[in-house]
Structures are given as C-alpha cells and as structure tokens.
Amino acid sequence: MKKLLAACVLLAMAVPAQATIYNDSVNDVFTGAGGGILDIVSVEVTNDATDISFKFTLAGDVDATDWGKYLVAIDSVAGGDSASNGWGRPISMSAGMDSWLGGWADSGNGMELYNWAGSWPFPPNEATWNGSTTISASKSGTMFTLTTTLANLGLGIGDSFLFDAFSSGGGGGDGAIDSLGNPNQNVGDWGEFSDATPLKYIVVPEPATLAILGLAGLALIRRRR
C-alpha cells in the first residue's frame, strides 16, 4: 500500500498537464508589420485542475518587437455577446461570446479578463495592472502566453467550450489580423471587422490525476482481496 502511494506521488510530480495544440496557416496575414508577430503559427491550450493557459507561437519575436496584442474569445454557455467583445475591437463571435482575454506584449506584459453580464464591465473582472493574482501574461522569443483560472471562466473538469484566438495591432480600432480558427487571410486592413471561427476544447483531468485515480483503484482492489 505504501509503495502504491509513493508511486502516486512520483506520477503527480512527473506527468505534465493536458495540452492540445491547434495549428494555423502561416503567411496568412495582409501585413508584414512587426516582422511576423501578428502571424499565428499555433496556439497550445493547456489545463490542470485549476488553471488554463493559451500559449501563442508566432512567426516573429515578441521580445524584439513587442507592440502586438494577443486575444482569446470564449463561448462557454448559451447566450453571450454576438456583436462585440471586452475591448470593443471590430471582432465578434456570432455564437455568443461569454469571456474575453486581452493580452499585450509591451509595457512589461499584461492581461485583462472580461466576463459578459449583459454588457462588458469596466474595469474588467480581472486585470494584471490592478494586482490580480488569478491571471498572468508572459512572453519569450516567439511565444506569448495568457493564463487564467478555470473558475474565472466558469469552467470545471469535463466542461467543453468554443474559442478563437487572435493577433491584433497596437491601435484601439485594430481588428483580428490573424485568426487561429481561420486558415485563410482573416482581414484585408487594420480596422476591418471579422467574426470568430470557433474551435473546441474539452477541459480534461491532467494525466497525473488520472494516474493517481487508477493507482488508487488498484490499491482498493488489493485491499478487498
């Protein structure tokens, strides 16, 4: 029994969280501004028991050129905003957007999280600039990552949701220059309006949790014998 418990602890330490990688077409943006920081190569979505992260891989270096904005629109329940988003940019999600994650690579990195409640609140529900400890943004080379708790999104293990991820410029009226869900060029100019192309993600137990449950089951069987 003690050996099984020790094995559970080792598995919990060694097995990474669940991750799904969504690839996008490259060179599908109308502009080369920023040297590739607006061109999404892929987004890796990772969750554990409490948090979820969206890691953008871009065609350019966000450390070298840092004015890009990286955004995630989420549809997790019925209803939501079908016309706009938390930042009021020309981007919609016709299925109904319930949450909006907005991140920036300049000014030391940052992120805001908005939840739809008949309107988009201001100030946002969570923001790095007001000391929130439940969201974070980070960058390294060609990668930019947005992280929040599942609770902030009203999600738990076993839930599924639709989402799209976007790159955008430094201007408040800039749209989705690249859309993860759209394999083709998304817009033809900076302020052009676009609608999300939703992708699906299922919030699953991390492998370590599954391994522990499996070993616990084996332990129970051994005890019954």
Q: What are the φ/ψ torsions at residue 23 (nearest 5 degrees)?
A: -90, 150
Quote the pLDDT of residue 122.
Answer: 95
Distance of alpha carbon 74 from alpha carbon 20, whole angstroms: 16
Quote the pLDDT of residue 4.
Answer: 44
Residue 18's pLDDT band, with cuts at 50, 70 and 90, is: confident
Judged against a pLDDT cut of 80, whether residue 16 lies above it is answered with no
Nearest to 113 by CA among 129, 95, 91, 94: 129
Residue 41's pLDDT band, with cuts at 50, 70 and 90, is: very high
Residue 206's pLDDT band, with cuts at 50, 70 and 90, is: low
Nearest to 34 by CA among 67, 70, 71: 67
Token pair 């799904």: residue: 20
Distance (Å) of CA 47 to CA 52, 68, 128, 162: 4, 24, 20, 15
- The whole-number average pLDDT for the span 58-86 is 98
Quote the pLDDT of residue 52.
Answer: 98
| DSSP secondary structure of the chain | -HHHHHHHHHHHHHSPPEEEEEE--SS-SS--TTTTTT-EEEEEEEE-SSEEEEEEEESS-TTTS---EEEEEEE-SS--BSS--TT--SEE-TT-B-EEEEEESSTT-EEEEEE-SSS--SS-SEEGGGT-SSEEEEEETTEEEEEEETGGGT--TT-EEEEEEEEE-SSTT---SEETT-SS---SSTT--EE---EEEE----HHHHHHHHHHHHHHHHHH-
Centre a 10 Å sphere on the Cβ of residue 176 and count the other Cβ atoms it contains: 31
Give me the helix-helix angle, 207-224 and 2-14, nearest 10°: 170
pTM above 0.85, yes or no: yes
145 within 8 A of 42, measured Cβ to Cβ: no
Residue 60's pLDDT band, with cuts at 50, 70 and 90, is: very high
Residue 13's pLDDT band, with cuts at 50, 70 and 90, is: very low
- The whole-number average pLDDT for the span 73-83 is 97
